[in-house]
Amino acid sequence: MNNNLKAIIEGLLFIYGDDGIALLDLQTVLENHKPSEIKAAINELEEKYKNDESSAFSIQRFGTNKLRLQTKETLYEWFAKLEVVKDQSKLSKSSIEVLSIVAYKGPISKAGIDHIRGADSSYQVYKLRQRNLIRVTGKSEDLGRSNLYSITENFFKLFNLSGGKETLPLIGDEELQEIIAENVQVLKTTEAENNSKTFFNEISEDDDFDEFQGAE
């Protein structure tokens, strides 16, 4: 295998960083190489990283045929020490619940999310947007023209999923509702107290507060 080809692919993965690069874009840049050669070079890079204990890197496949360079999961505990506040990297159960609804039901309005959960989701929608896990992809047809939310590519990175939304495990409406119902009683009794104090402390100096107040 042409080592220069592997070096170019490695460099492109590095340059595109956390956003990753689509396989189609790689093929466009490397137009003088056959798609089969490019895929073989990627596979060899993956094997190289996997077998080389002196390398911190691995290749993650996510979204629809996208690739990015990342650090090996086995080394995460060392890199995690650089985090100022480790707890900020964790999603709460209620946020994961809202994220699941958006993943399976999106595009969906906040009112739609609230209806499925049986609880207000303003805080969770705000935090998920802040983490760039969901985004506004349109407006509803109702009188208020509410924002419609969908998942972003960061969703697929977070859960290490390859392919688009159509590749998500199939969950029916009843099953999704059952999963949510298991948590709703706990959420209703603890969420308001825990979130309100944290939320208003965090957003009191946040530039996005005005946008949050208008989110529906």
Q: Grade residue 181 by pLDDT with cuts at 50, 70 and 90.
A: low
Q: Grade residue 7 by pLDDT with cuts at 50, 70 and 90.
A: very high
176 and 100 in contact (C-beta within 8 Å)? yes
pLDDT tens for residues 63-85? 878 899 888 888 877 776 665 44
For 91-213, CATH number out of 1.10.10.10, 1.10.1740.10, 1.20.20.10, 3.30.930.10 equals: 1.10.10.10
Q: Which of 202, 174, 195 is nearest to 93 (CA)?
A: 195
Q: Which pLDDT value is given to residue 45?
A: 93
Q: Is residue 216 predicted with pLDDT exceeding 60?
A: no
Q: Which pLDDT value is given to residue 204?
A: 38
Question: CATH number of the domain at 3-79, please?
Answer: 1.10.10.10
Joined together, the tokens standing for residue 20 give 């990753």
Per 3-state DSSP, what percentage of the chain is helix, strand, and coil (rounded to 5)?
60, 15, 25
pLDDT tens for residues 148-162? 999 888 888 777 676
Enumerate the H helices of 3-133 as residue ranges: 3-16, 23-29, 35-51, 76-79, 93-105, 110-117, 122-130
Measured from the Cβ of residue 35, the count of other Cβ atoms closer than 10 Å reads 12
pLDDT tens for residues 10-53? 999 988 888 889 999 999 999 889 999 999 999 999 999 999 98
Q: Which pLDDT value is given to residue 46?
A: 92
Q: What is the pTM of this model?
A: 0.48
In the chain, which segments carry CATH 1.10.10.10? 3-79, 91-213
DSSP 3-state assignment of 178?
A: helix
User: Percent of the chain having pLDDT more than 70?
Assistant: 68
